[in-house]
Amino acid sequence: MPSNVSGKITSANVSQSVFSKAQFVDGIAGYQVQNTSTGVLYVEDGGGPATTLSWQIAAGGFYQSPDDCRPALGVQIMGATANQTFVAKLY
């Protein structure tokens, strides 16, 4: 399973998967997401879809999960427009 991913928002205002639950195996402490787009992105690791109430990452910003993060349903991301870009990695 890839631990470093680059991607883009495929549909505006629709949550999509970044990492699956299965990728959080022993030896993985957490994850990082960098917003490489010009708009806000939202990241969710609490078991549901990403929404505007999720962790907000400003354009050019960065989010790092707490150590020992084990998302029950993986990590989801959402943006207001299609083609917003991001880079994410497990650590």
CATH, residue 74: 2.60.120
Q: Give the pLDDT confidence score for residue 2 in this predicted structure.
A: 56
23-72 residue pLDDT tens: 998 889 999 999 999 999 999 999 899 999 999 999 999 999 999 888 98
* Total domains in the fold of the chain: 1
**Of residues 81 and 72, more confidently modeled:** 81
Tell me the pTM. 0.92
Quick one: CA torsion of 17, 24, 27, 3, rounded to 10 degrees? Answer: -20
- The domain of 33 spans 4-90
Task: Answer whether residue 18 shows pLDDT above 90.
Answer: yes
Of 31, 18, 35, 11, residue with least CA distance to 85: 35
